[in-house]
Structure 1
Amino acid sequence: RFVTASLHVNYLRPTPIDAELEIRGVIKELKEKKVVVSATVSAEGKLCATGEVVAVRMPENMLR
């Protein structure tokens, strides 16, 4: 299980609520205790937001 260590979002333009969204993610870094993922959100072929999340693995003693 992982928890969010940091989350950064760049809002580039308004995202329509009545359009289909395309969300794409790419793993930028994968280690035993840390994962970094970048993502984009597009609507109607236009980029609406980009972001990056850093997630860290929870210690075993916190899983109980």
Structure 2
Amino acid sequence: MVGSDPPGHGSGRALPHVHRHGPASPHPAQAASWSILRMTVTARLSAAVAVSTGLWAIVWLAMR
């Protein structure tokens, strides 16, 4: 169905639909510039503490 509208999308114009993998395979992975999964446990805990502190600061200011 290359170059045609998908069923139910009758816009009247042909849209190219190009895939670079087979129809049965999933999309290939994209390079991530940052991932929490690549952080060390210490860095994750530090980030969690920082976010938690920031959120508690917002709550404290709102209650004030």
TM-score normalised per structure 1: 0.21
TM-score normalised per structure 2: 0.21
Structure holding more strand per residue: 1
Structure holding more helix per residue: 2
Relative contact order: is structure 1 or structure 2 higher (C-alpha 8 Å, sep ≥ 6)? Answer: 1
